[in-house]
Structure 1
Amino acid sequence: MKKILLFSLVMAALPAIAQNNNPVFPGWYADPEGIIFDNAYWIYPTFSAPYEEQVFLDAFSSPDLVNWTKHPKVLDTSAVKWAHKAMWAPSIIEKDDKYYLFFGANDIQGDEEEGGIGVAVSDNPGGPFKDHLGKPLIDKFHNGAQPIDQFAFKDKDGQYYLFYGGWKHCNVAKLNDDFTGFIPFEDGSTFKEITPDSYVEGPFMFIRDGKYYFMWSEGGWTGPDYSVAYAIADSPMGPFKRVDKILQQDMDIARGAGHHSVIHEKDSDNYYMVYHRRPIDTDARDSRETCIDRMYFDKNGHIQPVIMTREGVKSNPLTIKNQD
């Protein structure tokens, strides 16, 4: 008994071990999309490297937001014959027990080049994924938007949309039932521009209390001004009036914070921002790491500024089906 008591006293006197969960997994990764499938959290990021080395996509899964398992090369260019570099910013969605992974490839600079936005499919969120079409889903510049940075979104009525666009233009299009193409809008157009003020790239959307929160990245992705802003609308089509910037560099923590996504634990008010940032001690272009911090709302439903931390978030195991 004395030994147990002495051990307890010694442990109580020791300083608490600091939580250090950011970055959430090792390696240089950017543009992370976080999502919940059944009882696991998933993150699908860009492998941050020179474009010619970006020929695959890894995924990571976790039961609790703290302990992550790497799923290497869930998709690579051996499965996508038209893609040969710059596989970027994956976005994934589940439909009819299949998982559809949208991705950008080749960093095309004009309509005459091969590449754009593709889609791959798998029976498992951990892959392997195979090319769904054998060609890009979008391979042209519509409304000035470079075909990159795609985000797949399911609306309340079951309609699926694809938001996308670089070069300071953002489009939305209605996906058809099997994700092989698009359904024209009532006016006959396929790609509608919805670009909000200061938009650069990286669109993301979620619904909270019946409102559509549209989010994007601003500034230059290699610069200190990279950041995240948002708008609120009554429709997935907008109009989107910029509300505020909610994520930006903190010179005590990191620079270049942006290109994010949001994980929401169903039936709770737990919202997590998943994003990349550049460590203070490096200027290397591709030195970007994936992090998670909490996201909160004020009483009016506005998003409060997200505070970047080294501690990250606490363990939050999923115990029920949480797909949102």
Structure 2
Amino acid sequence: MKKSIAQKLLLKVLLGAALASPAINAFAQDTKTSGNPVVEGWYADPEAKIFNHQYWLYPTYSAKYDEQVFMDAFSSPDLVHWTKHSRVIDTSGVKWVKRALWAPAVTEKDGKYYIFFGANDIQNNNEKGGIGVAVSDSPGGPFKDYLRKPLIDQIVNKAQPIDQFVFKDDDGQYYMIYGGWGQCNIVKLKNDFTGIVPFDDGVTYKKITPEGYVEGPVMFKRKGKYYFMWSEGGWTGPDYRVAYAVGDTPFGPFKRIATVLKQDASIATGAGHHSVINVPGTDEWYIVYHRRPLTETDANHRVMCIDKMYFDTDGNIKPVKITNEGVAARTLK
């Protein structure tokens, strides 16, 4: 059957619009689930947030350290269809960062959006780098250097200043939990995020390292309890995984309870360095993490995935089942 001129013109318009549209996960076009990975490309260490009734993912660009000079972000109305926001932060906006731009933590305060990041992979206190912060008027950037210097640029309690996580407690106080090299600190942020201040006991850097901790801390509060999660194992290997503890305060003490996320030899390896999403007003939880496809051996070939996370009646986190299907669409009110 011949197409009319009008039909041909319409097809051209539709094709042009499709090609010009932002990148959306192709898997989601023919199914009702997100699919894992949720987006194309090599990404790791995802930070998951909800801003303006949208889900947002902020990952590390997974490449060689010298190539890690920018970060992309992704937004979605339903966890299934994702829009890419390219280079929401890069070294043109943060001049002191030269390489190894890692593991963003993002928060909103007073109408501004702040992205905390590790940079330059410093190995001692004489090198320039550490944890920085940039600010934007939009969750999609562009983010520009907030302090023109690192927020934390020293190795304290043997914790490399990377893998920061920003936690807001119920009283409005913001804390930052961070640390690599098997050590974890918690610090109290100034109200304007321009620095850190001592705790009431005079200590500025509190060590809260639990057994097995390697990196990638995450904290959230549920039913009056503080859940502290972290990554264990080597990030390049198949045994990378996530464990957790529960405490009565943000400072613990935290005693390791169990592993909750790990590889499945039939699906993927190296499942770790995660974050969590709680749908507001519900007890629905998702875990967002990276993993390595079974076909890949390159350490940097990591992808972002989402699966459901559940609790038992005692408040323990159930072991997460990693999937290829991902999660069903879930819009926000």
TM-score (norm 2): 0.90
String of CA shifts for 1:101-153, please: whole Å, max 9, x gaps: 00000001110100000000011100111100000000010000000000011
* Aligned-partner Cα distance in 2 for 1:200–1:154: 23
Specify the code of the residue in structure 2 equivalent to 1:217.
S
Specify the code of the residue in structure 1 equivalent to 2:114.
Y
* Aligned-partner Cα distance in 2 for 1:127–1:275: 22
Q: 1:130 to 1:18 in 2, by over 3 A?
A: closer
Q: Hey, what does 1:234 align to over in structure 2?
A: 248
Q: Hey, what does 1:223 align to over in structure 2?
A: 237
Aligned to 2:74, the other structure's residue is in SS state strand
Residue 43 of structure 2, aligned match among 16, 19, 29: 29
String of CA shifts for 1:141-180, please: whole Å, max 9, x gaps: 0000000000011001100000000000000000001101
Q: 1:69 to 1:17 in 2, by over 3 A?
A: closer
Q: Hey, what does 2:281 align to over in structure 1?
A: 267
User: 1:1-324 to 2 correspondence within 5 Å?
Assistant: 19=33, 21-319=35-333
Unmatched segments (≥5 aa) in structure 1: 1-15, 320-324
* Aligned-partner Cα distance in 2 for 1:81–1:214: 33
Q: 1:283 to 1:186 in 2, by over 3 A?
A: same
Specify the code of the residue in structure 2 equivalent to 1:230.
Y
* Aligned-partner Cα distance in 1 for 2:170–2:201: 22
How many residues align structurally? 304
Taking only the aligned residue pairs, the percentage that are identical comes to 64
Unmatched segments (≥5 aa) in structure 2: 1-29
* Aligned-partner Cα distance in 1 for 2:261–2:39: 20
Q: 1:19 to 1:61 in 2, by over 3 A?
A: closer
Is contact 1:18–1:311 with CA below 8 Å preserved after alignment? no
* Aligned-partner Cα distance in 2 for 1:71–1:18: 23
Query: Which of structure 1's runs of 4+ aligned residues deviate more than 2 A?
Result: 16-20
CA RMSD of aligned residues (A): 1.1
Q: 1:81 to 1:18 in 2, by over 3 A?
A: closer
**How much has 1:20 moved relative to structure 2?**
5.9
Aligned to 1:52, the other structure's residue is in SS state helix
Specify the code of the residue in structure 2 equivalent to 1:301.
G
Aligned to 2:66, the other structure's residue is in SS state helix
* Aligned-partner Cα distance in 2 for 1:281–1:95: 41
Specify the code of the residue in structure 2 equivalent to 1:50.
K
**How much has 1:185 moved relative to structure 2?**
1.0
Q: Which moved more, 1:179-188 or 1:202-211?
A: 179-188
Is contact 1:24–1:66 with CA below 8 Å preserved after alignment? yes
Q: Hey, what does 1:4 align to over in structure 2?
A: none
Q: 1:18 to 1:262 in 2, by over 3 A?
A: closer
**How much has 1:186 moved relative to structure 2?**
1.8
Aligned to 1:242, the other structure's residue is in SS state coil
* Aligned-partner Cα distance in 2 for 1:123–1:154: 20
String of CA shifts for 1:71-111, please: whole Å, max 9, x gaps: 00010001111101000000001111111100000001110
* Aligned-partner Cα distance in 2 for 1:18–1:118: 39
Aligned to 2:257, the other structure's residue is in SS state strand
